[in-house]
Amino acid sequence: MITKENKAEILKKFGKNPVDTGGSSAQIALLTERIKQISAHLKDHKKDYLTQSGLLKLVSQRRRLLSYLKRRDRESYTQVIKALDLRK
């Protein structure tokens, strides 16, 4: 789970304002944090297939948001990609 402090820090960095949870870049950053936590969980619990399917849903949701951001605002897209270190 993402703690309140961690979420506030992410929103301050990626949101338009500290309470902006609806912006694409903020959503992508929050999803990325959840994906990292779930990936760490799956390294310890290899047979947790329900969590594995949830992880795939989160990854596909992030991919859709990234494609939306790429279409709408290319500059913001490149900033988010570099800040989150998603693409090589």
Q: Which DSSP helix (H) or strand (E) runs through 66? A: helix 49-72
Give residue 20's pLDDT. 87
Whether 84 and 36 have beta carbons less than 8 Å apart is answered as no
Fold topology of 4-84: Helix Hairpins (1.10.287)
> What's the mean per-residue pLDDT of the chain?
94
Per-residue pLDDT at 63: 97
Taking a C-beta distance cutoff of 8 angstroms, is the pair 54, 38 a contact?
yes
d(CA 53, CA 63): 15
pLDDT of residue 18: 87
- Are the CB atoms for 80 and 14 separated by under 8 Å? yes
Quote the pTM value. 0.93
- The residue type of 44 is D
pLDDT score, position 88: 55
Q: Where are the domains of the chain?
A: 4-84
- What pLDDT is stored for residue 27 in this prediction? 96
